[in-house]
């Protein structure tokens, strides 16, 4: 089973949302920009005024890679690492789940994979046509 995510003060809201099955990102109040990964300050206007926005979980595969090395800790075999572009315009590195290999441009949807300590991490699965 996957190891728990490492939580810090700035990322706790994200991992707590994942554990509830909610997919979120930070949103700048003054300029409305969304950003990920979590950080204290808007990367555009440097404001500290932020809120948490719910994301659709819909995305497209931009790239992917299969690691050629022994499986990472907690995995039977190394996961397929994907780069997705979310419907809201953010990019995220995550893992692919599914029987087939991903294709660039595949429509995917977020799901939450449980971790060994009872938390969850976002992963992406192909949307069936
Ligand atoms: Zn801003």
Q: What is the mean pLDDT of residues 104-113?
A: 98
Ligand 1 centroid – CA 22 distance (Å) = 23
Better pLDDT: 105 or 1: 105
Ligand 1 centroid – CA 120 distance (Å) = 28
Would you state the structure tokens that stand for residue 89, as one six-digit string? 């315009």
Per cent of the chain over pLDDT 90 is 85
State the pTM of this model. Answer: 0.92
Ligand 1 centroid – CA 76 distance (Å) = 41
129: pLDDT strictly greater than 80: no
Phi and psi dihedrals of 60, rounded to 5?
-125, 145
Distances (CA, A) of 7 to 13, 16, 119, 121: 9, 9, 11, 12
- Return the closest-CA partner of residue 96 out of 19, 87, 88, 107: 107
Q: What is the mean pLDDT of the chain?
A: 95
Q: For 3-106, list the strands marked E by DSSP.
A: 24-28, 34-35, 50-54, 58-66, 80-86, 91-97
Helix (H, G, I), strand (E, B) or coil at 104: coil
Distances (CA, A) of 91 to 63, 67, 94: 11, 20, 10
Ligand 1 centroid – CA 23 distance (Å) = 20
Please, which residues bridge with residue 84 across strands? 61, 92
107: pLDDT strictly greater than 80: yes
124: pLDDT strictly greater than 90: yes
Q: What is the mean pLDDT of residues 111-126?
A: 96
Reported as a single tens digit per residue, the pLDDT across 41-95 is 999 999 999 999 999 999 999 999 998 888 887 788 889 999 999 999 999 999 9
């Amino acid at each position: 089973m996957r190891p728990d995510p490492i939580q810090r003060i700035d990322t706790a809201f994200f991992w707590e949302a994942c554990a509830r099955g909610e997919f979120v990102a930070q949103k700048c109040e003054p300029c409305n920009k969304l950003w990920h990964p979590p950080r204290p300050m808007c990367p555009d206007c440097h404001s500290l005024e932020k809120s948490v926005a719910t994301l659709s979980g819909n995305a497209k595969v931009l790239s992917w890679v299969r690691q050629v090395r022994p499986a990472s800790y907690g995995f039977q075999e190394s996961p397929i690492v994907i780069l997705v572009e979310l419907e809201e315009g953010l990019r995220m590195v995550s893992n692919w789940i599914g029987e087939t290999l991903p294709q660039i441009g595949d429509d995917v949807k977020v799901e939450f994979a449980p971790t060994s300590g009872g938390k969850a991490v976002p992963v992406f699965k192909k949307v069936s046509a």
